Structure 1
Amino acid sequence: MAHLRTYYAEAKPFEQYIQDMEQNQTELLNIYKDFDMPTDDERIEKIKDSGYKYVLVITEDWCGDAMMNNPILKHIAEQANLEVRVFHRDDNTDLIDQYLTNGKSRSIPIYIFMNEKFEQKAVWGPRALNVQKFVEALRKASLPDKTDPSFEEKQKEVHLKIRERYLTDASFWHDVYESIMSRLV
């Protein structure tokens, strides 16, 4: 199993990842532009003083959660002077398999916060709690049993509703911000 330093070295710089995105690039950049990053959050200074230096992001550009969460991380990283690199989950699943959601799902994005020695200090992802509650409630209310012939069609409709909220609901963006910040401080 490779060390986090090795994965980080193999990963793309965040800006390069964004430039190379084939899906959701415009949407990610719009969320980045529209997110109202708090300017007086004292926790930013605490993050700077806590030994955090690097963030290894496990993600893919097709992922809706990444589309919403990554621009928020970008703001935090810029304010807290964190160096961010992106590792594509599907290129090598050995890394994501160390960070399974609920012990079984390769859910993304996952953010691994490290110190200057590339030692893991915190992990966040794939969703803020309020966002997770919304997704679960929508799925429960909207999806029939998987054996139902309309399941796939209904699932596509649910994904579109989730995506629309991710793109437009600034309260979700703030939930993500608060969730990440709370994990770090």
Structure 2
Amino acid sequence: MLSLKEYFENALSAEDYKAQMQVNKEEMQQIYDQFEAPEDQRIDEVKKRKLRVIAISEDWCGDAMMNNAILLKFAEKADMEVRFVLRDSHLDLIDQYLTNGTSRSIPIYVFIDENFEEQAVWGPRAEEVQAFIEDSRKDLPSKEDPSFEAKSKEKYQLAHDKFLSSPEFWNGVYYSMLNRLTK
């Protein structure tokens, strides 16, 4: 298994990650272009820590589409270099950061210091985004129900559209990351 230093050094730059994207590329860029990172003095505290980020992601993921755009703005404010590791090619890494101990949910952001030591982990969702997803999926039929697949796709589309058009979610993601790094 690779060290966090090796993962970081072998990971894709933000530009290389965007260049290889096949899905959600324009949407991620749209969010990035529309999002204005809020002014908050705590970002100076983060900046002083000289952190870097390993972003475990995939382009097909709607959460990654939104969160990666916000992460890139956050990283600009905090002078952090972001490198991307593709989850599906690095299961050994994502398996160290399972959501609820079982799920390979993404994105996961591993914040590391100058010595490549883990300082914080964030992901896959901000609290208000998680609450929205849980609420929107409450009325899904059981997986055995013949309509489950179609209804599930509707819910994914609803989330995708909300992620593209909700500055309140974007701010929630930004502040969730900031809170994680300044608590």
Q: TM-score, normalised by structure 1?
A: 0.96
Match of 2:42 in 1: 43
Q: How much does 1:21 deviate?
A: 0.9
Q: Structure 1 vs Structure 2: percent identity of aligned residues?
A: 51
1:150 aligns with 2:141: no
- Cα distance in 2 between the residues matched to 1:27 and 1:125: 20
1:159 aligns with 2:159: no
- Cα distance in 1 between the residues matched to 2:37 and 2:84: 22
- Cα contact 1:52–1:113 (8 A) shared by 2: no
- Give the letter aligned to residue 158 of structure 1: K
Match of 1:68 in 2: 66
* SS of 1:116 mapped into structure 2: coil
Alignment of 1:1-16 (within 5 A): 1-16=1-16
In structure 1, the gaps of 5 or more residues are none
- Cα distance in 2 between the residues matched to 1:52 and 1:182: 17
- 1:27-86: CA deviations, max 9, x gaps? 000000111211x3101101012x242100000000000000001000110111101100
- Cα contact 1:130–1:172 (8 A) shared by 2: yes
In structure 2, the gaps of 5 or more residues are none
Match of 1:176 in 2: 173
- Cα distance in 2 between the residues matched to 1:43 and 1:138: 33
User: Could you tell me which of 93, 96, 116 is aligned with 1:95?
Assistant: 93
Match of 1:131 in 2: 129
- Cα distance in 2 between the residues matched to 1:102 and 1:92: 19
- Cα contact 1:52–1:121 (8 A) shared by 2: no
* SS of 2:99 mapped into structure 1: coil
- Give the letter aligned to residue 116 of structure 1: E
- Give the letter aligned to residue 143 of structure 2: K
Match of 1:77 in 2: 75
* SS of 1:140 mapped into structure 2: coil
User: Could you tell me which of 102, 105, 113 is aligned with 1:104?
Assistant: 102
Q: What is the aligned length?
A: 182
- Cα distance in 2 between the residues matched to 1:155 and 1:36: 32
- Cα distance in 2 between the residues matched to 1:111 and 1:121: 11
- Give the letter aligned to residue 43 of structure 2: I
Q: TM-score, normalised by structure 2?
A: 0.97
Match of 1:20 in 2: 20
- Give the letter aligned to residue 180 of structure 1: M
Q: How much does 1:19 deviate?
A: 2.0
- 1:78-126: CA deviations, max 9, x gaps? 1111011000000120000000000000000000000000000000000
